[in-house]
Structure 1
Amino acid sequence: MSRFSNKIALVTGASRGIGKAIAGRFAAEGAKVALVSHSMEELNQVEQQFIAAGYEILPLLADVSDADQIERAVEQVISVWGRIDILANNAGIAWEEDFLELKHSNWRKMLDVNLNGMFYTAQQVSRQMVKQGGGIIINMSSTNGIVGEAKYAHYNASKGGIVLLTKTMALELGSYNIRVNAVCPGYIQTPMSEVIDDAEFVEAYIRNKIPLGRVGMPEDVAGVFAFLASNDAAFITGTTIVVDGGQLAF
């Protein structure tokens, strides 16, 4: 498939997990992909893998919670390729923490990366898309942005904010031919989830909460990003798509 030939995609949090799968999907379908990560080691690893696969990429080291770093990263993409057609606004962090014990510094860190970083990146890329006559932005939210989950007050708040940020962006940017949507994954097996949850927890979660009887994989989410970035989604903006194996149907 070559749905994204001659397209430029920027993917944040691109060096592992869902972000890596999204970047790989766009590249496999013909896009040139800018890979943004805060980890030089992980960025080098994915760079080698993607080059070996024949993908055209641009690795960029940046922390999405730093607006100046994101501005420089976007400027680098423009200087090399001249435009950005697709933004996969994916970078995020998560960990458990009891509400009553939640440290203020941890609350700020979660919001800085998950919500502020989403805003900084989206705003910077949107300004370029306005100049070039349009584009597509896909923000990564979560089922935790729709329903609550204990021990994730900071994460839930950040992901809920992304849902309404997405709707507001869609309202304001539609007249510039910029489509904006959000994806809300449920339980996806990633390096981040493996640090948080042991095998016994995952088995119980599948048994009690997921009608399809398995956890999601990064590729399940990457396919939805590819759909939303394609012409098949040309009349879709301002919405959220849930990818959860039926969890929210309970």
Structure 2
Amino acid sequence: MTMYTRYASLAERSVFITGGATGIGACLVEAFVAQGSHVAFVDINREAGDALVARLAGQSQGRIEFRECDVTRIPELRAAIRELSGTCGDFTVLVNNVANDQRYDPRYLSEQAWYNSLAINLHPAFFAAQTVQPMMARQGGGVILNFSSINALSGPSKLPSYNTAKAALLGLTKSLARDFGTDKIRVNAIVPGWVITERQLNKWLTPEAEAWWMDQVCLKERLLPEDVAKLTLYLASDDARMITGQKFVVDGGRL
């Protein structure tokens, strides 16, 4: 297991993570488990979610809970949050991680494909935040972290709906930071570069693509899920208590 800085404020804190079964999400689950947090996560991949719980259950000083959930079905997402709060307690950390970076040629992108992309890359973040807001207010505050992407700022090709959704999350972050601030709820955006997950290795990371990327960045190393998780832990902790409405880029110096 990766060694993480320990944040005393995260021990026994209730954390909800979307898209937590694989990739960056699974690393986030593991990172909060290592802090002794009560971690609940949802994903559409039941097999991977169950396997992650089985692997981490013995390492957790808090609780770890998983529910299969299609986050594009907002009532299902809301129900999962409310059900899991009954086990883990009112959530005071929400990590809106779920995403799908499917490529589309904008000349042939159908109306339904456009809506489907926003349904996973944008809409769940707002409605999850709306659902946890009363919980956080009852507890005297909380933290919402929205996962955007440097694609929102650089606009690579064949990702029009994904880029749009990730840009919208930056606006959502600013809006919710203002609207929820009176309840001491901090809202920030994490803006990763090209994080090398199993999906990226299987679908997109060719030797040529990696050589191009290394030519663009200042730090000539692969960006790993653990690098993003470490930033997430800090922003979720009380060490970042006066930081809100901001975006934090972790990309090895690409931008």
TM-score, length-normalised on structure 2?
A: 0.93
Structure 2 stretches of 5 or more lacking a match?
Answer: 1-5
Among candidates 73, 77, 87, match of residue 80 of structure 2 = 73
Q: How does 1:147-166 map to 2 (within 5 A)?
A: 147-166=154-173
Q: Over residues 123-147 of structure 1, what are the superposed CA-to-partner deviations in whole Å (9 max), with x where a residue is unaligned?
A: 1111321233211110110001222
1:47 aligns with one of 53, 60, 63: 53
Q: What secondary structure is seen at the aligned counterpart in 1 of 2:107?
A: helix
Partner of 1:188: 195
Q: Per the alignment, do residues 192 and 245 of structure 1 end up closer, same or farther by CA in structure 2, a change over 3 Å counting?
A: same
Taking only aligned residues, the RMSD between alpha carbons, in angstroms, comes to 1.4
- Residue of structure 2 equivalent to 1:14: 20
Identify the match of residue 218 of structure 1 among 225, 231, 243.
225
Once the two structures are TM-superposed, the CA of residue 79 in structure 1 deviates from its matched residue by: 1.4
Question: Which of 104, 122, 132 is the matching residue for 2:129?
Answer: 122
AA paired with 2:31?
A: R
Query: What is the aligned partner in structure 1 of residue 3 from structure 2?
Result: none
1:90 to 79, 86, 97: 97
In the TM superposition, residue 2 of structure 1 has moved relative to its aligned partner by 5.0
In 2, distance between residues paired with 1:126 and 1:211?
Answer: 38
Contact 1:94–1:192 (8 Å) recurs in 2: no
Report the count of equivalent residues.
Answer: 248
One-letter code aligned to 1:5: A
Is residue 101 from structure 1 mapped to residue 108 from structure 2 by the alignment?
A: yes
* Matched residue type, 1:82: G
The residue identity in structure 1 corresponding to 2:71 is: V
Measured against aligned partners, the alpha-carbon deviations of 1:120-172 in whole angstroms (never above 9, x if no partner) come to 11111113212332111101100012221111111100100000000000010
What residue identity is the alignment partner of 2:190?
A: V
Deviation at 1:227, TM superposition (A): 0.6
> Is the CA contact 1:181–1:239 (under 8 Å) kept in the aligned structure 2?
yes
The one-letter code sitting in structure 1 at the alignment partner of 2:25 is G
Instruction: Give distance in 1, aligned partners of 2:226 and 2:248.
Output: 15
Counterpart amino acid of 1:201?
Answer: E
Q: Deviations over 1:4-53 (max 9, x none)?
A: 11211111111011111111111101101002111111111111111132
Specify the code of the residue in structure 1 equivalent to 2:245.
G
CA contact (8 A) 1:173 1:179 kept: yes
- Structure-1 separation of matches of 2:149 and 2:134: 26
CA–CA distance in 1 between the matches of 2:210 and 2:177? 38
Aligned match for 2:142, one of 135, 138, 154 = 135
Q: Distance in 2 between matches of 1:54 and 1:233?
A: 24
Structure 1 stretches of at least 4 aligned residues deviating more than 4 Å after TM superposition: none
Aligned-pair distance for 1:78?
Answer: 2.1
Conservation of the 8 A alpha-carbon contact between 1:96 and 1:196: no
Percent sequence identity over aligned pairs: 32
TM-score, L = length of structure 1: 0.95
Indicate the SS of the match to 1:238.
Answer: coil
